[in-house]
Structure 1
Amino acid sequence: MIEAHSLTKRYGEKAAVTDLSFTVRPGIVTGFLGPNGAGKSTTMRMIVGLDTPSSGNVVINGKRYEDHQAPLHEVGAMLEARSIHTGRTAYNHLLALAVTTGIPRSRVDEVIDIVGLREVSRKRAGGFSLGMGQRLGIASALLGDPATVVLDEPVNGLDPEGILWIRNLLKSLAAEGRTVLVSSHLMNEMAVTAEHLIVIGRGRLIADTSVEEFTRSAAGNSVFVRTDEAEKLRTLLAGPDVSVASAERGALEVSGLTSERIGRIAADNAIALSELTPQMASLEEAFMELTRDAVEYQSPVGSAV
């Protein structure tokens, strides 16, 4: 479990993170989201002791990272996949980490197979593609068989097969009862990988909730209704906080009422419905809606590159 308490990090006059508190629980994949400049990387660096908080603290399984006697066995992190000795082979890179931290050589072979680098394990890492570098970084994070895994943008550079692989890997790690925190800019991928979200903007907490609740909270959620008595139902649904649009002939798109309420009104007035479907915002739409005031760098409307 990762517990952050009132984390604040300042660089001179600039606050990168301000009074940030959250808990990352074991057994589920938690997505860590935010616009560029939101403070995600700074927060992750504070989690693994690379940056010292200006105030507040963060503990992993009850201790600060630096207080764990064998931190690689407790926490596996990938914050920068390419921070490796380019002259070493993938195998020797992992072996050096293992030997210096008391991890058996057999574990090196295990993680090489887990991340699918067996065929290139004896090649120098400096010649790796971005995707292969990502896999090596993930192997390094898993080397100590840690209870907690922290990954920053792990799907960068991966092809579709690689993205599916990391999705299944993260879910399997969580299913084993591990704590999994992963950041990504790929909203569609987070929607099918994470169960819980921590969203920050300008260094402050915006949301700490399930993926379902996060998308439900976004503006624009509506209900699609199909009936032969669309105009009659439109009149019955009308209200000061309700918007009803004609999606197509015999169909309505209703905002401001739940599907349960619409179904009850229709039933009370003997109106048969052939379809009643909630239209939830996508994770990307919800993210854009709820973080629009926290974007540090915004493109002018209508700008082109």
Structure 2
Amino acid sequence: MIEARELTKRYGDKLAVDGLTFTVRPGVVTGFLGPNGAGKSTTMRMILGLDAPTGGTVTVNGRPYREHTAPLHEVGVLLEARSVHPGRSAYNHLLALARSNGISRARVDDVVEAVGLAGAARRRAGRFSLGMGQRLGIATALLGDPRTVILDEPLNGLDTEGIRWVRSLLRGLADEGRTVFVSSHLMNEMALTAQHLIVIGKGRLIADMGMADFIATRGRSVVRVRTTNPVDLTGRLRASDVEVSHDGGETLTVSGLTTDQVGRAAAAAGITLLELTAQQASLEEAFIDLTRDAVEYRAPTAAGATS
């Protein structure tokens, strides 16, 4: 379990993390989301004692990370997969960590096999692809068979098979009763993997809830409509809180109304419907809606871009 209470970090005049309070519980995959610059990496570094908080506290499994006598057995971490000596083989990198932490060689063999590096473990880590480097980083995190696993962007560089493997791995760790805390910008994968979300923006907590509740609360319902008279139906449906987009053919996409409301409006106007389908709001849409005012680094619009 990870518990943060009023966790704060200031760098000079910049308040990077502002009074964060949250709990990451065992048995579920908890996603850690936020726009670039939101304070996610700083928060993870404070959890691990790499940065000292300006204020507040954070504990892992009941105590600050630095107070654990066998930290690899308590917390497995992937913050930077490339933090490996490039001239050392993947196997020897893991073996050195194992020997310095009272972990058996058999465990090294187990994690090498588990992450799919058995055929490449004797190669120098500096020659690894990004995806292979990620697998080595995950192997390092799992080496001590920890109760808590913290992974920052574990899907970077992985192919489709690798992404599916990580998804299964994280769910499996949670099913074993471990605490799993993972940060990623890949919203589609987070929607498939995480069961709970902690969302921050500009260093502040803006959501702490289950995945289904987050999407239901923040995402707008979308209805796909095919009709013989899209222009007239568009005029009937448009309102201040309703968005209607027309593909130029027979199809409309309506945001802000239910299928029942669209159907009744069409019936009242005598407009024939060919299709009326409710579409689930996505995590990406809900996330963008929630963090719209918390984006620190925003790209210019096409009209305002300069060469």
Q: TM-score category by the smaller chain?
A: 0.7 to 0.9
Q: What amino acid is aligned across from residue 60 of structure 1 in structure 2?
A: V
In the alignment, which residue of structure 2 is the partner of 1:184?
184
In the alignment, which residue of structure 2 is the partner of 1:301?
301
Structure 1 residue ranges without an equivalent (≥5): 267-272
Give the 5 Å matches for 1:3-18: 3-18=3-18
Q: Determine the C-alpha separation between the residues in 2 that align with 1:253 and 1:105.
A: 58
Say if 2:220 and 2:256, in contact at 8 Å, map to a contact too.
no
- Going from structure 1 to structure 2, the CA distance change for 1:134 and 1:304 (only over 3 Å counts) comes to farther
Give the 5 Å matches for 1:49-198: 49-198=49-198
Q: Determine the C-alpha separation between the residues in 2 that align with 1:101 and 1:167.
A: 28
Deviation at residue 219 of structure 1 after TM alignment: 5.2
Say if 2:221 and 2:257, in contact at 8 Å, map to a contact too.
no
Q: Does 1:285 align with 2:261?
A: no
Which string of whole-angstrom CA distances, capped at 9 and with x for unpartnered residues, describes residues 159-203 of structure 1?
Answer: 111111111111111111111111111111111111111111111
Q: Secondary structure of the residue that 2:81 maps to in structure 1?
A: coil
Q: TM-score, normalised by structure 1?
A: 0.85
Q: What amino acid is aligned across from residue 95 of structure 1 in structure 2?
A: L
Deviation at residue 290 of structure 1 after TM alignment: 1.4
- Going from structure 1 to structure 2, the CA distance change for 1:249 and 1:92 (only over 3 Å counts) comes to closer
Q: Determine the C-alpha separation between the residues in 2 that align with 1:207 and 1:99.
A: 41
Q: Determine the C-alpha separation between the residues in 1 that align with 2:249 and 2:224.
A: 12
- Going from structure 1 to structure 2, the CA distance change for 1:224 and 1:49 (only over 3 Å counts) comes to same
- Going from structure 1 to structure 2, the CA distance change for 1:249 and 1:297 (only over 3 Å counts) comes to closer
Which string of whole-angstrom CA distances, capped at 9 and with x for unpartnered residues, describes residues 136-164 of structure 1?
Answer: 11100000000110000011111111111
Q: What amino acid is aligned across from residue 110 of structure 1 in structure 2?
A: D
- Going from structure 1 to structure 2, the CA distance change for 1:90 and 1:208 (only over 3 Å counts) comes to same
Identity of matched residues, %: 65
Q: What amino acid is aligned across from residue 28 of structure 1 in structure 2?
A: V
Q: Secondary structure of the residue that 1:73 maps to in structure 2?
A: helix
Say if 2:221 and 2:280, in contact at 8 Å, map to a contact too.
yes
Q: What amino acid is aligned across from residue 167 of structure 1 in structure 2?
A: R
- Going from structure 1 to structure 2, the CA distance change for 1:57 and 1:158 (only over 3 Å counts) comes to same
Which string of whole-angstrom CA distances, capped at 9 and with x for unpartnered residues, describes residues 220-253 of structure 1?
Answer: 323457899x9xx99x999986778899999986
Q: Determine the C-alpha separation between the residues in 1 that align with 2:93 and 2:243.
A: 60
Q: TM-score, normalised by structure 2?
A: 0.85
Q: More deviation in 56-65 or 273-282?
A: 273-282
Root mean square deviation of aligned Cα: 3.1
Deviation at residue 216 of structure 1 after TM alignment: 2.2
Say how many residue pairs are matched.
302
Q: More deviation in 294-303 or 2-11?
A: 294-303
